[in-house]
Amino acid sequence: MAKQERCVWVVGHKNPDTDSICAAISYAYLKNQTEDGHFIAKRAGSINNETRYVLERFGAKEPGLITDVGAQIKDIDYRQTEGVSGHFSLKKAWELMRSLDVVTLPVVDESKRLTGLIVNGDIAYSYMDVLDNRILGRAKTQYRNVIETINGCMVTGNDHAYFTKGKVVVASGNRETMRDEIEDDDLVIVGNITARQLIAIEQNASCVIICGETKVNPGVIERAQKKECVLITTPYDSFTTARLIHQSMPIRYFMTKENLITFEPDDYVDDVKETMSKIRHRDFPILDEQRHLVGMMSRRNLLNMKKKQLILVDHNEKTQAVDGIEQADILEIIDHHRLGSLETISPIFFRNQPLGCTATIIYQMYQEKGVEINSQIAGLLCSAILSDTLMFRSPTCTAIDKMVAEQLAQIAEVDVEELATAMFEAGSDFSAKTTEEIFYQDFKIFDSDDITFGVAQVSAVSRRQLNSIKPELQAYLEKVLAEKGLKMVFVMLTDILQEETELIYAGGMAKGVIEQAFGVSEENGGFMLANVVSRKKQLIPPMMQAMQS
């Protein structure tokens, strides 16, 4: 069997900005050019209008959405099986369980949809606890099952037919007793005495099993055909035949049909573990959306879990990462922010540089690997730098960022100012957005000691655009506090051209933190911060110092 190619997702932070999306696309492309494996760009949230404009302009496909990277059943080496038919005999099911070393068999219909489960305890029950000599008929046992179970041979009749009425009789008494015991439609087990065989047939038995014999008297055969009686021979004696015949019953009669506990391949392991802890079954069926059987799993399979493999770009904070990150296998982190709270089990490749944009770092890696940057990748990387540095206005912007952006603009054949203006205008169009969409288009959560707070940034090319959404955002902040369980929440209303930010807030400590961090007074429900446009470099550090003091 060929070795399966590893699949690695490259993903940015929740509420992704242009750098987060473009970095994921560009780095996945670089990895696919330089390493074995399949690297796929993903996004951890909805993209904003600015990013959508960039992707459309440069003809890039929007990465697929992932909301949770926790381990799922499809990440586990579970037992793949097609299931068995409900017509299977108990004996055949038992033999299959032993050969597969399992205690549960899934039962499916002709369309491979699950109809029930049979466990070894059900088979034991049928053999040890059932004392009803009519159960073979009630179970609608097929003669083919009977023949298979007692190693028999059909002399007359149709092996596809079913024994549906009467009881099982072992004809061990004298002939008069036989006539009293045998009723219409019974299944009669007799020895190799012709006279006793004929009595069973004359008493209208639906089936006669002749023990210890392979040849049948022609007169018995002729009489059985006239009476439409099924004749079966077996090499076993009467005792053995009587002991085995109950094992010919179909498993559908004993299987569990109701309240089955099943899972789907997309179910998360944490949820599965919780369910398994409450249900003491050994094995559980895995079904697709149409209830087709996919396989079987047990608690033991959870030990062979394959974690999803990720490369993180533009963040290294656990609070900003996609849900379930603690269950994933992080291979690399490429970032330009402060060191955050993510932890890994083993050493990884971690590249963090004090630059204005992750895209600048990725450009350097293209150069180091000797991989040519095509016009599409150049356009994406250039757009990311212009977005993160606010067209070189942000204090996080370095000379390297500006130089790289200009080189990328030449490759992409775009004008830096024209591209930046078009991007910012697209991002400043709030008319078709809800307050929630505006707030979460660029929102991040931070930790300072035991204080957790959130900061959103909304940028526009004019103060008028920002003022139009300010009242709705202020009212929305209390909802964010409650839903996210934060101590404080802030929104940066950033005027890109004037290079200033109005900071609005919610939370008991928020006002004091702003006053202590920036030494300014509140005006019209917000704090005006001149020359502040960078959340990472100009806002977060002084606020954290104020919180810690």
63: domain CATH number? 3.90.1640.10
Give pLDDT tens digits along the chain (549 positions).
334 567 999 999 998 999 999 999 999 999 999 999 899 999 999 999 999 999 999 999 999 999 999 888 888 888 888 899 999 999 999 999 999 888 999 999 999 999 999 998 888 877 776 667 889 999 999 999 999 999 999 999 999 999 998 999 998 878 888 898 999 999 999 998 999 999 999 999 999 999 997 789 999 999 999 999 999 999 999 999 998 998 999 999 999 998 899 999 988 888 888 888 888 788 899 999 888 999 999 888 887 778 899 999 999 999 899 999 988 999 999 999 989 888 888 899 999 999 999 999 999 999 999 999 999 999 999 999 999 999 999 999 999 999 999 999 999 999 999 999 999 989 888 888 899 999 998 999 998 888 999 999 999 988 999 999 999 999 999 999 999 999 999 999 999 888 999 999 999 899 999 999 999 999 999 999 999 999 988 999 999 999 987
- For residue 129, the model assigns a pLDDT of 63
- For residue 75, the model assigns a pLDDT of 84
* Residue 217 and residue 118 share a domain: yes
139 found inside a domain: yes
171: DSSP letter? -
* Residue 20 and residue 146 share a domain: no
289 found inside a domain: no
526 found inside a domain: yes
Q: CATH number for the domain including 502?
A: 3.10.310.20
Query: Crossing angle, helix 416-427 and helix 375-388, to 10 degrees?
Result: 60
Helix (H) or strand (E) holding 540: helix 540-548
Beta bridge partners of 311: 10, 332
Burial label, 32 (beta-carbon count in 10 A; 0-12, 13-18, 19+) = middle
Whether the predicted model's global pTM rises above the 0.75 cut: no
- For residue 4, the model assigns a pLDDT of 54
* Residue 240 and residue 223 share a domain: yes
* Residue 445 and residue 400 share a domain: no
Q: Do residues 174 and 278 lie in contact, with contact meaning Cβ atoms separated by under 8 Å?
A: no
Q: CATH number for the domain including 209?
A: 3.40.1390.20
- For residue 183, the model assigns a pLDDT of 92
Q: Do residues 39 and 67 lie in contact, with contact meaning Cβ atoms separated by under 8 Å?
A: no
* Residue 150 and residue 44 share a domain: no
* Residue 243 and residue 122 share a domain: yes
* Residue 138 and residue 40 share a domain: no
Domain C-terminal end among 427, 452, 474: 427
Q: Do residues 432 and 438 lie in contact, with contact meaning Cβ atoms separated by under 8 Å?
A: no
Q: Do residues 386 and 422 lie in contact, with contact meaning Cβ atoms separated by under 8 Å?
A: no
Sheet holding 104-108, edge to edge: 84-85, 104-108, 114-119
* Residue 440 and residue 414 share a domain: no
Domain C-terminal end among 406, 427, 448: 427
- For residue 1, the model assigns a pLDDT of 34
- For residue 412, the model assigns a pLDDT of 97
Total domains in the chain come to 3
* Number of other residues whose CB lies within 10 A of the CB of residue 135: 17
Residue ranges making up the domain that contains 351: 7-70+308-427
Q: Do residues 27 and 8 lie in contact, with contact meaning Cβ atoms separated by under 8 Å?
A: no
* Residue 245 and residue 125 share a domain: yes
Beta bridge partners of 117: 106, 256
276 found inside a domain: no
**Which residues, 6 or more positions from 470, have their beta carbon under 8 angstroms from its beta carbon?**
493, 502, 504, 525, 526
DSSP labels, 37-101: SEEEEEESS---HHHHHHHHHTTPPPPEE-SB-S-BGGGB-PEE---EETT-BHHHHHHHHHHHT
80 found inside a domain: no
**Which tokens go with 247?**
């094992």
* Residue 372 and residue 462 share a domain: no
* Residue 511 and residue 483 share a domain: yes
**Which tokens go with 537?**
């470099």
- Residue whose structure tokens are 């597969």: 100
* Residue 64 and residue 101 share a domain: no
| Distance from C-alpha of 507 to C-alpha of 485, rounded to nearest angstrom | 11
CA angle (165, 171, 173) in 5-degree steps: 140
